[in-house]
Amino acid sequence: MRSRTRGKSRSPFRAADNGSGPGRRQVLAGGIGTGALLALPDLGLGSHPASKSTTPPSGASARYTFVYGTPDAGSVTTGSLAAASTPAASSPATSTPAARTRSHAATVAPAAITLSSRGSVPVAVNLAATPVSSPDQAITAVATVAMERDGAKVTLVLLDAASAKVAKQGSVLLKGVPSGAHVLVTPVFTPDSSTVSLVLAISTPVTKRVVSKVHGHTGKPLPRVTTSWVSHHALAYFDQRTGSMAGPFYLSDEPSLALSTAAANGSELLLWTTREPQPDDSASLRANASLSRLSIFPLGSGKARLSVAAPAPWPAGEPVVTLPSGDIARLVRGSHVQVCAVRTGDVSEHGISAFSRARARPSAVTMQARPDGTVFMTKPGSGVALVADPSEEFSAKAQVQFFPPATPLGAPWSKAVLSAEGDTLYVLGPAHGGGLHAYEVSSGKLTASYSEGSHYNGLHQMPGGTLLAVKPDNPRLAFFAPDLSPLGTADTNLFVSAIF
């Protein structure tokens, strides 16, 4: 089912400082963290003759795509990437018969384009958390944390996708946070991207003691200095128009779990947190341990307008979107949507019938808001994607079944993407064949496929329409036209975790 070949990556390229983005000296570096971010230009689909509907949205073709991941061990700390700005139309890929079929996969040799290193730029290293993109994908938020003498300095950097350059940035100092603390930063965009809220989880060591613990392998007792921790949250708000940061506003939610879920509408921030269970909790606290707490803050404020108990499960990185009404939807347990009415904090739950089939293994799940008010949801482990209407209890407006890919849970979680027009679903190919498949959304029929034997692990559609698929070994990045014609490949020294 899976490739078992242990491949060796090629030596990473150093990206050229060609003036198309930030150069090496401008690479952002956080004090804590391991992730790295690269900017990758779209491939100029307009020049590709095999493409249909290749006219990119106005302005979209100029956008960069950001690739986030972990650098290879032993490589330079910054990720690097080789990519072309425009593959030549006469390249081997385009002279090869297109891999389009109506109902079966073609076996076409992979494109042999050699891509230059021009156009790719390392952007950031040592990130404190996975970056977050704005709803319109025009901005990507990157957070770094640096421990300083008087506390933890959290810096929010907003990257402009059109230039891969820093558009705005702001910092906030968390005074008194000791050097051994952990600070988890979650940026949250408003729908119009005008405000970026920062949810800051601060975990501080409080007591240390030496204990004896049996080693799991040897069975021998080992002395161990153990640390107990306590976590609480703070908020800060960055106003893009003024470039000002408000906060920090410390929440009195200690002891809390650091993990939270947050979303914003145009005027308020909704925050799900969980009280950390304590050994001496009363019976009533224990009985309500499955509940989390939903607090609603006016943007710019550290005082909740409303704070109510919220139903299970605890917040844990589940997909969340802001609906046109301003209400917030969480996709929980991989099968249900909880809608929070922002006015009252009431939560209603809707089962997604396409996701209801239980399986032995969890699957990645995604949920994205679409401009027409619908949401696009995927559950690749069940081989299903759908467009649902939140105004009709998330009933399916369109649904496509596909063969589950080989890695339905592993990173990146994006295994299926919907074209901007909403008419084509692109998915990773099945476990037995790999490659890519395309389906007509209206009919659910397979319309194109491509496979030369590679199993891809993640799929992203760049703003100009180019598809970007990632795989384990270099060349890790493969580019395809919307008709699945291969455009080329590129090396990177990043193990890719997510694409923005």
Of 413 and 483, the one with the shorter C-beta distance to other proteins is 413
Least distance between other proteins and beta carbon 126 (Å): 8
**Residue listed under structure tokens 């299970």:** 312
Burial code of 454-482, b = ≥16 C-beta within 10 A, e = fewer?
A: bbbbbbbbbbbbbbbbbbbebbbbbbbbb
Of 99 and 152, the one with the shorter C-beta distance to other proteins is 152
Of 390 and 408, the one with the shorter C-beta distance to other proteins is 408
Q: How would you list the strands of the sheet with 64-71, edge to edge?
A: 28-29, 121-127, 35-41, 64-71, 494-499
- Enumerate the β-bridge partners of residue 494: 71
Least distance between other proteins and beta carbon 261 (Å): 9
How many C-beta atoms lie closer than 10 Å to residue 133's C-beta?
19
Of 286 and 305, the one with the shorter C-beta distance to other proteins is 286
Least distance between other proteins and beta carbon 287 (Å): 8
Of 247 and 405, the one with the shorter C-beta distance to other proteins is 405
Least distance between other proteins and beta carbon 289 (Å): 4
Q: Are 384 and 402 in contact (CB under 8 A)?
A: yes
Structure tokens at 188: 């949250």
Q: Are 108 and 478 in contact (CB under 8 A)?
A: no
The C-alpha atoms of residue 407 and residue 418 are separated, in whole angstroms, by: 19
The C-alpha atoms of residue 291 and residue 294 are separated, in whole angstroms, by: 10
How many Cα atoms within 13 Å fall on the side-chain side of residue 369? 24
Structure tokens at 50: 């095999």
Alpha helices in 160-202 (DSSP H): none
Of 57 and 277, the one with the shorter C-beta distance to other proteins is 277
Of 44 and 334, the one with the shorter C-beta distance to other proteins is 334
Of 27 and 496, the one with the shorter C-beta distance to other proteins is 496
Least distance between other proteins and beta carbon 1 (Å): 5
Least distance between other proteins and beta carbon 32 (Å): 6
Least distance between other proteins and beta carbon 42 (Å): 22
Nearest by Cα to 48 from 489, 492, 488: 488
Least distance between other proteins and beta carbon 447 (Å): 25
